[in-house]
Amino acid sequence: GAGVSQTPSNKVTEKGKYVELRCDPISGHTALYWYRQSLGQGPEFLIYFQGTGAADDSGLPNDRFFAVRPEGSVSTLKIQRTERGDSAVYLCASSLTFTRGVETQYFGPGTRLLVL
């Protein structure tokens, strides 16, 4: 079956611009997660949705970052007034709420964002 998909796969933008990154989770997965991975680092948690609501947004670095999941499926990560330091790979993952009590997260291929 289809896995987690993310679009675009690559995004180049200029400093100060607005960008939207999209994530399509695995069908039926109620939980959705966003991470950011910088070169040579492990993924860094940004936000987690359970259904339509953000259950934990403690990882969002500042108020330029915002994410939505209006219908409980597709999610969009929005970054305003982009800065060069926002350049990274943005990973999306999804999971069932409980899989025998353990929620394995399935990751998408990521969106590579480059801010010039």
The verdict on 10 binding another protein (CB under 8 A) reads no
Closer Cβ to another protein, 48 or 65, answer by number: 48
Stretch of 11-19, 20-28, 71-79, 90-98 lying at the interface with another protein (CB under 8 A): 90-98
Closest CA to 109 of 1, 22, 4: 4
First to last CA, the chain: 37
25 touches another protein by CB under 8 A = no
Is the CB of 4 or the CB of 115 nearer to another protein?
A: 4
Task: Classify the C-alpha dihedral 71-9-62-49 as positive or negative.
Answer: positive
Neighbours of 26 (CB within 10 A): 17
Q: Interface residues with another protein (CB under 8 A)?
A: 4, 31, 33, 40-45, 47-48, 50, 55-56, 58-59, 91, 93, 95, 97, 102-110
